[in-house]
Amino acid sequence: MTYEQCFKRHRAFIEKKLKGMLRAQEARPLSIHKAMQYAVFTGGKRFRPVLVLSACEACGGKPQDAMGAALAVELIHTYSLVHDDLPALDNDATRRGKPTCHKKFGEANAILAGDALLTLAFEFIAGIKPAQRAVQVLREVAIAAGVRGMIGGQVADLEAPAKKKTLAEHDFISRYKTGALIRVSAVAGAIAAGAAPHELKAMTRYGECLGLAFQVVDDILDEDGYCKAMSIPAATQKAVRLIGQAKKEVKMLGRKAQALRLLADFLMQRIPQ
């Protein structure tokens, strides 16, 4: 069964809510809303929001309990891609086979669209009920998206020599630049469900392992990143170990964690044989 088949329900729920919420925000000037929607609907797998909803269900909640958090992490992820594509960073002309946001709407509008998606994310988090859970999710997401998370990892990546990163440097950058938002996806889903402390700890460790594995697998596929600091077989072993550890962390949740195990399995299936 493919990722799309397995998570069809979650993905459909997420797409419907994203379209509805973004259209509800529309007002003058319409150009910025078009740029935001263009960036969001480029055919991504929605891995992070699916993880949010899966974590919520694993901790006894319902998908609607965590929808605000799910939408938020996807908007933050999208804004980071819009900004990463800009000439000042990666200077990419296409993403997923389509012109990047700044190529389609201009650099100024792309910057502002990214800013708007980031701030809209926190508006969605504010709608989580009860308010105490919204505050908890807000704090965790803010840390994961900021200098102690994704932004910090991005800067560390920019500052590190491209061809001379040590394995420890790759781990640091990956845990923050990529891993932080995946970790907080699992954590936010658990918080939105009202998870018990032991469940939240398990979900945190699961997210940390899965987030680092996600980047290792990407680097194996691109023959970049980790593959410049270690051999492809060694990187494969690292990814397999992390994915296996992620599944162990949620074993105590039993059948409720089936979707979390499937997410780990799908990541495993991306590794070239």
Q: What is the pLDDT of residue 6?
A: 83
The pLDDT tens digits for 152-200 are 999 999 998 766 889 999 999 999 999 999 999 999 999 999 999 999 9
3-269 falls under which CATH superfamily?
A: Farnesyl Diphosphate Synthase (1.10.600.10)
Q: What is the pLDDT of residue 1?
A: 65
Q: At 132, is the pLDDT very low, low, confident or very high (cuts 50, 70, 90)? A: very high
CA 210 vs CA 34, 146, 203: distances in Å = 33, 20, 10
Q: Tell me the domain boundaries of the chain.
A: 3-269
pTM, two decimal places = 0.96
Give the list of residues 6+ apart from residue 227 with CB closer than 8 angstroms, or none.
219, 220, 235
- Judge whether 131 and 158 are in contact, CB under 8 Å: no
